[in-house]
Structures are given as C-alpha cells and as structure tokens.
Structure 1
Amino acid sequence: MPRYWVDAREVQARLDFWDHGWLLSFRDIARSTDERTAIFGVIPRVAVGNKAPLIFTTLKSQLVSILIANTNALIFDYIARQKIGGTHLAFFCIKQLPAIPPHMYTQAL
C-alpha cells in the first residue's frame, strides 16, 4: 500500500455520521493569480488531505447543488480573489464571502 493511502474502513468509520454518498469540498490552495480562486465541488466518499477541506451541512441535496453553483459563480470568485491575501482559502475567509442564503432560493432559481 502506498504511503499516504487511507484504508476504506477508516474512511467509513470517520464518515459514519454522514448519510450521503458524496462530500462537499473546496480547494484550499487559492492564489489570486490563478485563473479561478475559489473552486468548490462534490467528490466521492474518499479520504482527503488538508488541501481539500470538507464542508458538512444539514442542507438538502438540492440546496447543496445550488450552494455549489453559488460558490462557483464568477462574482463569488472575484470577491474571493479580492479578499484572499495569501495562498490559502481558509474557513475564516469563506465565512466572510457573500452567498445567497437558503431561504432566498425559490423554484424559479
């Protein structure tokens, strides 16, 4: 087994509380000179390192997909680019970025 692989049983044990077959993650390395600064996405239930932090939420899957669209929008990326001073998109930076709150989502969106 390669040095940095994590056994699937360990992943399952750590994610026992999570009922979904997917994880919401974002790229921690986010230089303002990159083409895209904020990159969010859904990944399979796998082990990740500290450069792909996970976000656990109680939102329904439909709202999570809208959240991902929100965080991958060009305006969100532009503001993230202005906000980030270094090379990391930390949780405290994400908490300061604008996003449409879930109660604003309608069927028209």
Structure 2
Amino acid sequence: SNNLDSSQPPIVSEIEIELSIQTDLSSYVKSDLISINGVSENSNVVNLSILNSNNELVWAEQVSVKSDGSYSTLAIADGEGWENSGTYNIKVEDGTNTKSTKFSFNS
C-alpha cells in the first residue's frame, strides 16, 4: 500500500516561520557601515546582535519589522569590542527562533 506517505504529512514545512538575516557585504573594515536586512514573519520586532571573534557582544539593537515582514538597519563597525580582526557573528531573534550569519572583519 502507498498510504505510508499520507500518514506522516510534512508538518515541519507547514509551520516553519521564515526568519532570515543578511549583511550587504561578507567582509568589513574598521568604521565601515554594515547594512543589515532580513525577514521575520513571526514578530513585529526583532533583536539583532553582533558578537566579535571572542564571542563578546559588540552591538545590539531592537528593530521594528515592517508590515511586509522585512526589517533593516545599519551598524557601524567601530567602538568597544571591535579591536580584533576575525570572524564576527550577527544574529536575529524573534522571541521564538534565532538565525545567524557570519562576516569577516579587519580592524
């Protein structure tokens, strides 16, 4: 019988909420402007944060999500915690899920 498939519908794909984050470049240098944007279908605000190569918080902001589900903001690659070059992690949290992406930074 071929009803095995129908007994286990792909529930995960039906309830998966889109949450994404991206930066305009994959690499930045000191004092660069980092343009951040993404989509959040679950929340009208998202919390963004950047962690440096030592996993220390160097930037955070709460950003409003527009009616079309998109959000965007700018961060400046400078200040306390930005002394070290390396791979930095930027993440978005909508209260339920977290997504992240990486960029390289040269101080």
TM (norm. structure 2) is 0.31
Q: Which has the higher helix share?
A: 1
Q: Which has the higher strand share?
A: 2
Q: Which has the larger radius of gyration?
A: 2
